[in-house]
Amino acid sequence: DSGVTQTPKHLITATGQRVTLRCSPRSGDLSVYWYQQSLDQGLQFLIHYYNGEERAKGNILERFSAQQFPDLHSELNLSSLELGDSALYFCASSVGLAGTGEQYFGPGTRLTVT
């Protein structure tokens, strides 16, 4: 167990809907990263938050947004869902901002869009 938790574990929804994925980092970790794992794109970085502030964006669609709250948990919001958004969404946390610490991954949320 990495100490990173994600809810829900599974999510099934219809096209056009909106969902929110939640991530709680390890105690003391200030950085949260979101990654999308799909069969055709592999593992792709979406967005990085540090202590409540957005730090970097990757291949994140405009329909997707995220935030990190004062208690450091993070939410990834996916709207106007399409079939192609079906994927496993991971979050990872690390203690600092700089790229020196290990990233600990959560168990992921499996999103199925029907």
Partner 1 sequence: AQRVTQPEKLLSVFKGAPVELKCNYSYSGSPELFWYVQYSRQRLQLLLRHISRESIKGFTADLNKGETSFHLKKPFAQEEDSAMYYCALRDRGSTLGRLYFGRGTQLTVWP
Interface residues with partner 1 (CB under 8 A)?
Answer: 2, 4, 31, 33, 35, 42-45, 48, 55-56, 58, 88, 90, 92, 94, 96-108
Question: Measured from the CB atom, is 21 or 92 closer to partner 1?
Answer: 92
Residue 91 beta carbon to partner 1: minimum distance, rounded to whole angstroms: 10
Could you give the CA distance from residue 49 to residue 25 in angstroms, rounded to a whole number? 11
Instruction: Look up residue 6 and give its two tokens.
Output: 């994600």
Could you give the CA distance from residue 28 to residue 21 in angstroms, rounded to a whole number? 21
Residue 16 beta carbon to partner 1: minimum distance, rounded to whole angstroms: 27
Question: Measured from the CB atom, is 17 or 53 closer to partner 1?
Answer: 53
CA trace torsion 98, 87, 69, 60 (10° rounding): 60
Residue 70 beta carbon to partner 1: minimum distance, rounded to whole angstroms: 21
Burial of residue 46 (CB within 10 Å: 0-12, 13-18, 19+) is buried
Q: Is 83 helix (H, G, I), strand (E, B) or coil?
A: helix
Question: Measured from the CB atom, is 61 or 97 closer to partner 1?
Answer: 97
Question: Measured from the CB atom, is 79 or 107 closer to partner 1?
Answer: 107
